[in-house]
């Protein structure tokens, strides 16, 4: 049943021998991602660490291992089903708790990036069964009696070379911040960098300043400028990302409230293999001046907690403008956005949602949040807050309740 439900361009069944040898078949030509499903394998294996370690040696950074495991707290039920010969398949001899799996993953070179309960109500019940199953899976306490859980493991692989980087700088009415933004970007070791300014209908001469700065620049960075046809930061980021040509994509807000000097910490965290999606966190250190007012901070904390619950990941700050990901993963994000809807006013949620759902692994980089030296905030706290609440609600229905 599981094999039939998997939607993918190429599917291969390895058979029961995989429980012993764990063969890693090469992905189909041109495949960006390969997913290896261990369907109950870990419940009949006597050396899970060796199994995962063998697999890890042949995995690429973008590949994932998905393990389907029986609920360890229902081992008595599976033992009874095995004894009565009601359950088919290998005997369930090994029952792995979430803590066990997290430690096994770590010592075998993986990160457990996602785990979801399944089978809380495995009965049809005139078509109502699937809705009861979804409901019971999210009820604290009750979800612990789900028949199984699905875990996604990310192989921890560092970059062997320095990937190139595209920095997108959305700018509207930020004239006096353009030159400092470029000047404060420290050069990085042997890394090709392009900076893409995306100007959005400014009235203070920002576009003209961008043109002047590009004409005067004599450094090693490749600098380009794009004019935004639509409005909003999310649209500006989409335009910049679609025009980017380098391996990694990141965002630097032109208001410079996130110090440009810290941008390389995001890059280094990715290269070290800590995560495939690097997210800024402005809420750890003291916030300077009036950079974030009380209601804004309260909203940031609320949405960080809400997304952590909906997506089953830990996010310290869901609305920090600076994030880093690969260009190939962003192409997958675009397909997800077409399905979910493109109405995020800032673009943060439409990056965090697929990053969690696709099991990229998310790590927070604490940054010192600074006060503006020029311009004013573009945030409409109540109107934009309602839109973000709508996204959280849709996320609950389409992700948590699915």
Reading the chain (402 residues) residue by residue, the pLDDT tens digits are 677 777 777 777 776 555 545 556 666 666 688 899 998 889 888 899 999 999 998 899 999 999 999 999 998 988 888 888 887 777 788 999 999 999 999 999 999 999 988 888 888 888 888 888 888 888 877 778 888 999 999 999 998 789 999 999 999 999 999 999 999 988 776 789 999 999 999 999 999 999 999 999 988 899 999 999 988 899 999 999 999 999 999 999 999 999 999 999 999 999 999 999 999 999 988 888 777 878 888 888 998 999 898 888 899 998 898 999 999 999 999 988 887 777 777 788 899 999 999 999 999 999 988 887 776 766 666 677 788 888 888 888 888 877
For every residue of 54-112, DSSP letters joined together read HHHTT--TT-EEEEEEE-GGGHHHHHHHHHTT-S-SS-------HHHHHHHHHHTTEEE
Domains of the chain: 2-155 (3.40.50.150), 165-400 (3.90.550.10)
The distance of Cα 254 from the centroid of its chain, to the nearest Å, equals 24
Distance (Å, whole) CA 244 – CA 192: 12
Classify strands 277-281 and 222-227 as parallel, antiparallel or unpaired.
unpaired
For every residue of 275-304, DSSP letters joined together read -SEEEEE-SSSPPPTTSS-HHHHHHHHHHH
Which residues are CB-neighbours of 393 under 8 A, at least 6 positions away?
none
User: Which pLDDT does position 161 carry in this prediction?
Assistant: 86
Q: What tokens were used for 147?
A: 């028949």
DSSP 8-state code for residue 370:
P
User: Which pLDDT does position 28 carry in this prediction?
Assistant: 62
Phi then psi dihedrals of residue 19, to 5 deg? -65, -25
Q: What is the dihedral of CA 48, 53, 55, 59, to 10 degrees?
A: 140
Q: Flag whether the pTM goes above 0.95.
A: no
User: Which pLDDT does position 20 carry in this prediction?
Assistant: 47
Angle (deg, nearest 10), helices 349-357 and 294-311 = 20
User: Which pLDDT does position 366 carry in this prediction?
Assistant: 95
Distance (Å, whole) CA 377 – CA 36: 46
Kindly state the helix (H) or strand (E) to which residue 232 belongs, with its residue range.
Answer: none
DSSP 8-state code for residue 368:
P
Distance (Å, whole) CA 145 – CA 76: 12
Judged by DSSP in three states, 168 sits in strand
């Amino acid at each position: 049943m599981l094999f039939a439900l998997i939607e993918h361009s190429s599917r291969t069944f390895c058979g029961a021998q995989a429980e012993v040898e764990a063969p890693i078949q090469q992905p189909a030509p041109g495949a960006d991602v390969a997913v290896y499903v261990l369907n109950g394998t870990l419940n009949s294996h006597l050396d899970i660490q060796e199994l995962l370690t063998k697999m890890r040696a042949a995995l690429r950074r973008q590949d994932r291992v998905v393990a389907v495991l029986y609920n360890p707290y229902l081992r008595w039920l599976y033992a009874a089903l095995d004894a009565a010969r009601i359950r088919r398949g290998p005997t369930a001899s090994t029952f792995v708790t979430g803590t066990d799996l997290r430690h096994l993953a770590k010592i075998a070179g993986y990160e457990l990036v996602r785990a979801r309960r399944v089978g809380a109500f495995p009965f049809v019940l005139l078509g109502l069964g699937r809705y009861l199953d979804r409901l019971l899976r999210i009820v604290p306490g009750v979800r612990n009696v789900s028949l199984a859980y699905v875990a996604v493991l990310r192989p921890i692989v560092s970059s062997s070379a320095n990937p190139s980087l595209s920095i997108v700088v959305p700018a509207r009415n930020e004239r006096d911040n353009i030159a400092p933004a470029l000047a404060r970007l420290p050069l990085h070791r042997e890394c090709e960098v392009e900076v893409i300014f995306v100007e959005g209908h400014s009235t203070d001469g920002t576009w003209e300043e961008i043109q002047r700065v590009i004409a005067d620049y004599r450094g090693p960075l490749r600098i380009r400028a794009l004019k935004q046809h639509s409005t909003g930061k999310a649209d500006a980021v989409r335009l910049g990302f679609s025009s980017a040509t380098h391996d990694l994509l990141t965002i630097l807000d032109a208001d410079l409230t996130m110090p440009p000097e810290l941008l390389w910490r995001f890059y280094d965290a990715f290269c070290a293999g800590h995560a495939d999606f690097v997210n800024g966190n402005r809420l750890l250190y003291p916030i300077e001046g009036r950079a974030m007012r009380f209601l804004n901070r309260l909203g940031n904390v609320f949405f960080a907690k809400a997304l952590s619950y909906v997506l089953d990941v830990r996010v310290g700050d869901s609305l920090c403008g600076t994030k880093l990901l690969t260009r190939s993963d962003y192409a997958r994000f675009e397909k997800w956005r077409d399905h979910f809807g493109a109405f995020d006013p800032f673009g943060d949620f439409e990056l965090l949602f697929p990053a969690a759902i696709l099991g990229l692994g998310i790590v927070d980089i604490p940054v010192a949040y600074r006060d503006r030296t020029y311009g004013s905030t573009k945030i409409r706290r109540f109107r934009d807050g309602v839109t973000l609440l709508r996204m959280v609600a849709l996320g609950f229905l389409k992700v948590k309740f699915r």
